[in-house]
Amino acid sequence: MAYLEIVGIRKTFGEVVALDEVTLSIERGEFFTLLGPSGCGKTTLLRIVAGFETPDRGSVQLEGEEITEVPPNRRNMGMVFQAYSLFPNMTAEENVEFGLRVRGWPAAERARRVAELFDLIGLSAARKRYPFQLSGGEQQRVALARALAIEPKVLLLDEPLSALDAKIRVQLREEIRAIQKRLGITTLYVTHDQEEAMAISDRVAVLSHGRIEQIGPPAEIYENPLTPFVASFVGTMNRLEGTVQDGREGLVNYRGIQLRVNAARGRDPGTRVFVFIRPEVVEVRLVGEGDGLKGRIFSQSFMGPVTRLRIALDQGGELIADIPSARAKALTMGMEVIATFPPDAAGILNI
Partner 1 sequence: MRRGRSFWGSFWLLLGVLYFTVPLLATAEFSLRAGPGRYTFSSYLTILEDPQFRASFQLSLGLALETIVLTLALLVPTAYWVHLRLPRLRPVVDFLSILPFVVPPIVLVVGLLAVYRGAPEFFIGTPQVLVAGYVILTMPYVYRSLDVGLRAVDIRTLTEAAQSLGANWRQVLLWVILPNIRAAVLSGGLLTLTIVMGEFTMANVMLFYTFPVYMNYIGETHATPAAALTLISFTITWAAMLGILFLERQLGGRQVQIGGAR
Ligand X SMILES: Nc1ncnc2c1ncn2[C@@H]1O[C@H](COP(=O)(O)OP(=O)(O)O)[C@@H](O)[C@H]1O
**Binding region for Mg ion (CB under 5 A):** 43
Closer CB to ligand X, residue 13 or residue 84? 13
Nearest to 199 by CA among 170, 224, 221: 170
The DSSP 8-state label assigned to residue 272 in this structure reads E
Edge-to-edge strands, sheet with 154-158: 77-80, 154-158, 187-191, 31-35, 203-208, 211-216
DSSP β-ladder status, 77-80 and 31-35: unpaired
Sequence-separated (6 or more) residues with CB below 8 Å from residue 222: 198, 234, 235
Residue with smallest beta-carbon separation from Mg ion: 43
In angstroms, the CA 130 to CA 168 distance is: 20
Instruction: Kindly state the smallest distance separating residue 2's Cβ from ligand X, in Å.
Output: 23
Residues 104-133, interacting with partner 1 (CB under 8 A): 128-130, 133
Q: Considering the rule CB under 8 A, would residue 88 count as an interface residue with partner 1? A: yes
> Which residue lies nearer to ligand X by CB, 15 or 268?
15
Q: Nearest approach, Cβ of 265 to partner 1 (angstroms)?
A: 51
Give the binding-site size for partner 1 (rule: CB under 8 A): 34
Return the number of the residue (99 or 210) whose C-beta is nearest Mg ion.
210
Amino acid at 188: L
Stretch of 35-43, 98-106, 236-244, 257-265 lying at the interface with partner 1 (CB under 8 A) = 98-106
Under the binding rule (CB under 6 A), the answer on residue 295 touching ligand X is no
Taking the least distance from each CB to ligand X, the nearer of 187 and 238 is: 187
CA distances from 121 to 25, 29, 117, 125, 304 (A): 29, 19, 6, 11, 32
Residue closer to ligand X, measured from CB, 126 or 230: 230
CA distance 342 to 277: 10
Residue 147 is a binding residue for ligand X (CB under 6 A): no
Contacts of 33 (CB under 8 A, 6+ apart): 188, 189, 190, 191, 197, 200, 201, 203, 204, 205
Considering only residues 11 to 50 of the shown chain, the ones binding ligand X according to CB under 6 A are 13, 16, 18, 36, 38-44
Query: 276: which strand partners?
Result: 239, 347
Q: Of the two residues 95 and 214, which places its CB atom closer to partner 1 in the complex? A: 95
Per CB under 8 A, residues contacting partner 1 are: 50, 52, 71-79, 81, 84-89, 91, 98-99, 101-103, 128-130, 133, 143, 146-147, 149-150, 156
Binding residues (CB under 6 A) for ligand X: these are: 13, 16, 18, 36, 38-44
